[in-house]
Amino acid sequence: MTNAPIRRLRAVAFASVLAAFATLPALTPAAAREAPASFADLAADLLPGVVNVSSSQSVQARAGNLPEMPVFPPGSPFEQFFHDFMEKNRPGGQGGGPDEGPGPMRKMQSLGSGFVVDSSGIIVTNNHVIDGADEITVTLQDGTSMKAKLVGRDDRTDIAVLQVKPEKPLHALAFGDSSAMRVGDWVLAIGNPFGLGGTVTAGIVSARGRDIRQGPYDDFIQTDAPINRGNSGGPLFNMNGEVIGINTAIYSPSGGSIGIGFAIPSNMAKTVVAQLLKYGKPRRGWLGVRIQQVTPDIAESLGLKEPRGVMVAGVTDGGPADKAQIKNGDIILKFNNQDVKELHNLPRMVAETAIGTEVPLVLWRDGKEVTVSARIAEMPEDDSKPAALTTPATPPAAAPVAISGLGLKVAPITPEMREKFQLNADQKGVVITDVGADSAAAERGLRPGDVIMQVQQEDVNGPADIEARVERARKQNRKMVLLLIQGQDGLRWVPLPLAAPAKSGKQPG
Q: Is position 62 within any domain?
A: no
Domain end call among 378, 410, 429: 378
pLDDT at site 102 = 57
Given 54, 232, 266, 404, the catalytic residue? 232
User: Confidence class of residue 373 from pLDDT cuts 50, 70 and 90?
Assistant: very high
Q: Is position 366 within any domain?
A: yes
Residues in the chain: 509
147-175 average pLDDT score: 94
374-384 average pLDDT score: 78
pLDDT at site 17 = 52
Q: Is position 355 within any domain?
A: yes
pLDDT at site 93 = 47
Q: Is position 337 within any domain?
A: yes
Tell me if 269 sits within 8 A of 122, measured CB to CB.
no
pLDDT tens per residue, range 256-302: 667 788 999 999 999 899 999 999 988 889 999 988 889 888 888 88
Which range among 147-161, 169-183, 460-474 shows the weakest confidence by mean pLDDT? 460-474
pLDDT at site 16 = 63
Residue 78: partners with Cβ closer than 8 Å, 6 or more residues away: 70, 72
48-62 average pLDDT score: 79
Q: What CATH code is carried by the domain that includes residue 357?
A: 2.30.42.10
Domain end call among 279, 295, 323: 279
**Of the candidates 172, 167, 207, 159, the residue with the CA atom closest to the CA atom of residue 187:** 207
User: Confidence class of residue 376 from pLDDT cuts 50, 70 and 90?
Assistant: very high
pLDDT at site 407 = 83
pLDDT at site 273 = 95
**What pTM does this model have?**
0.62
pLDDT at site 83 = 54
pLDDT tens per residue, range 196-243: 778 899 999 999 888 766 666 777 899 988 888 788 899 999 999 999
Question: Which sign, positive or negative, has the C-alpha torsion 448, 451, 457, 463?
Answer: positive
The SS3 call for residue 50 is strand
User: Confidence class of residue 150 from pLDDT cuts 50, 70 and 90?
Assistant: very high
Q: Are 264 and 299 members of one domain?
A: no
pLDDT at site 48 = 94
pLDDT tens per residue, range 24-45: 555 555 555 667 788 999 999 9
pLDDT at site 481 = 86
User: Confidence class of residue 87 from pLDDT cuts 50, 70 and 90?
Assistant: low
pLDDT at 13 over 50: yes
pLDDT at 85 over 80: no
Using CA atoms, how far apart are residues 468 and 476, in angstroms rounded to an integer? 12
Q: Is position 273 within any domain?
A: yes
Q: What CATH code is carried by the domain that includes residue 273?
A: 2.40.10.10
pLDDT at site 395 = 40
Mean per-residue pLDDT over the chain, rounded: 80
Q: Are 293 and 327 members of one domain?
A: yes
Alpha-helical regions (H) of 51-160:
77-88, 127-130
Given 158, 218, 219, 450, the catalytic residue? 158
Alpha-helical regions (H) of 232-293:
266-279
Domain end call among 257, 279, 301: 279
pLDDT at 489 over 70: yes
Q: Is position 56 within any domain?
A: no
Q: Are 291 and 209 members of one domain?
A: no
Element of type H or E holding 334: strand 331-335
pLDDT at site 370 = 94
How many C-beta atoms lie closer than 10 Å to residue 109's C-beta? 10
Using CA atoms, how far apart are residues 441 and 443, in angstroms rounded to an integer? 5
For the chain, give the percent of residues with pLDDT over 90: 35
Parallel, antiparallel or unpaired: strands 243-250 and 338-339: unpaired
Q: Mean pLDDT highest for which of 90-104, 394-408, 456-470, 493-507? A: 456-470
Residue at 270: amino acid letter = K
Parallel, antiparallel or unpaired: strands 135-139 and 145-154: antiparallel
Using CA atoms, how far apart are residues 42 and 239, in angstroms rounded to an integer? 8
Q: Is position 111 within any domain?
A: no
Q: Look up 83 and say whether it is catalytic.
A: no
Using CA atoms, how far apart are residues 195 and 110, in angstroms rounded to an integer? 9
Residue 95: partners with Cβ closer than 8 Å, 6 or more residues away: none
Using CA atoms, how far apart are residues 353 and 146, in angstroms rounded to an integer? 36
Using CA atoms, how far apart are residues 450 and 429, in angstroms rounded to an integer? 10
Q: Look up 232 and say whether it is catalytic.
A: yes
pLDDT at site 508 = 40
Give strand pairing partners of 58.
Answer: 107
Which range among 128-132, 289-293, 334-338, 504-508 shows the weakest confidence by mean pLDDT? 504-508
Domain range holding 221?
178-279
Q: Look up 54 and say whether it is catalytic.
A: no
Using CA atoms, how far apart are residues 434 and 210, in angstroms rounded to an integer? 41
pLDDT at site 163 = 95
Give strand pairing partners of 39.
Answer: none
User: Confidence class of residue 22 from pLDDT cuts 50, 70 and 90?
Assistant: low
Given 56, 118, 128, 185, the catalytic residue? 128
pLDDT at site 461 = 85
Q: Phi/psi of residue 109, each to 5°? A: -105, 145
Q: Is position 431 within any domain?
A: yes
Q: Are 247 and 197 members of one domain?
A: yes
Task: Using alpha carbons, list the distances in angstroms from residue 127 to 53, 130, 131, 173, 430.
Answer: 11, 6, 6, 19, 46
Q: Are 183 and 271 members of one domain?
A: yes
pLDDT tens per residue, range 294-352: 988 888 888 888 999 999 988 999 999 999 999 988 999 999 999 998 877 898 889 88
Higher pLDDT, 22 or 145: 145
Residue 465: partners with Cβ closer than 8 Å, 6 or more residues away: 430, 455, 458, 459
pLDDT at site 18 = 54
Tell me if 474 sits within 8 A of 498, measured CB to CB.
yes
pLDDT at site 480 = 86
| Count of structural domains, the chain | 3
pLDDT at site 73 = 44
pLDDT at 89 over 70: no
Using CA atoms, how far apart are residues 417 and 398, in angstroms rounded to an integer? 11
